[in-house]
Amino acid sequence: MEAVFSGLATGFAVALDPFNLFLVLAGCFAGTLIGALPGLGPINGVAILLPIAYGLGFGPESALILLAGIYYGAEYGGRISSILLNVPGDASAVMTTLDGNPLARSGNAGRALSLSAVASFVGGTFAVILMSLFAPVIAAFAVTFSPANYVALMVFAFASLASLVGKSTVKTLLGATIGLMLATIGIDANTGIPRFTFGIPDILAGIDFLIVVVGLFGMAELLTLVEHQVSGKLKALPVDKSFVKWADLVVCKWTIIRSSIIGFFIGILPGTGASVASAVAYGTEKRIADKDKTFGTGDIRGLAAPEAANNAAAGGAMVPMLTLGIPGSGTTAILLGALLMFNIQPGPMMFAQRPDVAWGLIASMYIGNVALLVINLPLVGLFARMLTIPQHYLTPLIAILAFIGIYTIVGNPFDLLLITLLGVFGWFLRKLDFSLAPIILGFVLGSLFENNLRRALSISGGDWSILWMDYKSIVLYVLALAVVIAPIWLGMRARKMEGDATHEKV
């Protein structure tokens, strides 16, 4: 504990240096803007700005503080376009659209933005505090997660998402299946055999998550916007001066706390990131809190859950990166690369060898979270005013930004074609009343599930019992069962009590 405090003291001395303080603020602001643009998220923001941070000749701690600020800022910014435009700014903001956009549609855009800023702040700060206290211990535990445990985790994730969205169960299942099918494209990670690539080299490595998200969500949404514009159905959302109320926070407090915990722990696990965290948090909250079936129609808790979780996950993902040198997400992989560029080897020795960098970064996250809240609350009006831009300017602008964003990251013109095709496909699915979220979730969880199942079976030599040989797996299966059964049981009990009540009256 003493080590933690002296470490934090070192860290704050670094982070409060005026120049570094400026970098935190600049990074957070740039990150929020980048995150707000459809298709651009933390991974792209950090990737794009990494060469600049390196090229400007900053010290390693300053460069890393700037990049971490962008990372955090982008996690914050992702919610803005989700709420205002129903186009997720990045993968982890997909869940934010579900309740965020209906809130904005019903005239609560300002309230939704400010509430989500507060939820993001709590999630982010919670993660940083836990991180500085328990980083080494937690990382050591996460590393013991075997492929079989991951299988159980995925089962839990699927179970918590089972009733997620969509009016029709069949369509939800079909959507998830489409996602699973998309995930099988590319070279099979276990045997190295190309699957469903039809001789096209561009999809040998599979379809990038970003492409699917931008295509299915971004492009399909734009096509719908254009369609509404042509048919004259589109009404500009009213800009309002609504703001988060104390009552909202009171309603959301347990949601935010639960989601922060979920987000942080999922963030730590290597290979799962903020997108899985926000999905699991949303699913869990829907199970626990959605008694009146208001989730998906603009419930503030449905907005707070994914926002708290994805910011907590962003912090969680830093834990294995800093303490073990194992990145927990794509963005932390790039930050790891940044450290290596500065000749700093992340890993168990980093806290001992370069405490200024390790603790400076952690301290900058405390400052960054406060800065983001301060930037985001007063600027709510500014962001909400984005909607007053006439649609015939906004639609092509978003399309251009999405195309530029994708091209900057993937640098392959084929993928531009792919997002267009996926956009048309997504637009047809929307016409058929499909919800697009199950497709994305099938896509993400499906490949994790398949790869880990096959790893587990390779380890056991084909013996399926490895899947339930471990207490961690069993705990997760029990939880999975609980989230499926609990609502049914609660529902039955409620109906029974209702029945009893009517009976008594008679």
Binding site for another protein (CB under 8 A): 47-52, 55-56, 143-147, 187-192, 194, 197, 199, 201-205, 270-271, 320, 324-327, 333-334, 336-337, 341, 343, 345-349, 404, 407-412, 414, 451, 454-455, 458-459, 461
Q: Which residue, 158 or 403, has its beta carbon nearer to another protein?
A: 403
Nearest Cα residue to 350 out of 1, 11, 5 = 11
DSSP 75-142: HHHHHHHHHHHS--SSGGGHHHHHHHHHHIIIIIHHHHHHHHHHHHHHHHHHHHHHHHHHHHHHHHHH
Q: Which residue, 390 or 411, has its beta carbon nearer to another protein?
A: 411
Strand partners, 186: 195
Copy the structure tokens of residue 223: 């096509």
Q: Which residue, 162 or 335, has its beta carbon nearer to another protein?
A: 335
Q: Which residue, 271 or 487, has its beta carbon nearer to another protein?
A: 271
Q: Which residue, 189 or 497, has its beta carbon nearer to another protein?
A: 189
Nearest Cα residue to 81 out of 180, 171, 213 = 213
CB 112 within 8 A of CB 297: no
Q: How far is CA 179 from the centre of its chain?
A: 17
Shortest reach from residue 245's CB to another protein, in Å: 40
Shortest reach from residue 61's CB to another protein, in Å: 18
Q: Distance (Å, rounded) from C-alpha 118 to C-alpha 304?
A: 8
Q: Which residue, 187 or 386, has its beta carbon nearer to another protein?
A: 187
CB 113 within 8 A of CB 119: no
CB 83 within 8 A of CB 383: no
Shortest reach from residue 359's CB to another protein, in Å: 18
Shortest reach from residue 403's CB to another protein, in Å: 10
319-322 contact pairs (CB < 8 A, 24+): 319/131, 319/135, 319/138, 319/139, 319/142, 319/267, 319/268, 320/139, 320/142, 320/143, 320/268, 320/270, 321/346, 322/135, 322/346, 322/350, 322/351, 322/358, 322/361, 322/362
Shortest reach from residue 192's CB to another protein, in Å: 4
The CA distances from residue 368 to 179, 348, 376, 381, in Å, are 35, 25, 12, 21
Q: Which residue, 32 or 96, has its beta carbon nearer to another protein?
A: 32
Q: SS3 string of 5-43?
A: HHHHHHHHHHHCCHHHHHHHHHHHHHHHHHHHCCCCCHH
Shortest reach from residue 346's CB to another protein, in Å: 7
Shortest reach from residue 434's CB to another protein, in Å: 29
Shortest reach from residue 95's CB to another protein, in Å: 24
Shortest reach from residue 415's CB to another protein, in Å: 8
Q: Which residue, 388 or 408, has its beta carbon nearer to another protein?
A: 408
Shortest reach from residue 412's CB to another protein, in Å: 5
Q: Which residue, 19 or 141, has its beta carbon nearer to another protein?
A: 141
The CA distances from residue 320 to 279, 324, 375, 442, in Å, are 21, 5, 29, 26
Coil vs helix vs strand at 346: coil
CB 52 within 8 A of CB 66: no
Q: Which residue, 171 or 454, has its beta carbon nearer to another protein?
A: 454
Shortest reach from residue 278's CB to another protein, in Å: 21
Backbone phi and psi for residue 272, each to the nearest 5 degrees, phi listed first:
-110, 140
Neighbours of 250 (CB within 10 A): 9
Q: Which residue, 152 or 303, has its beta carbon nearer to another protein?
A: 152
Q: Distance (Å, rounded) from C-alpha 86 to C-alpha 164?
A: 17
Nearest Cα residue to 360 out of 328, 322, 393 = 322
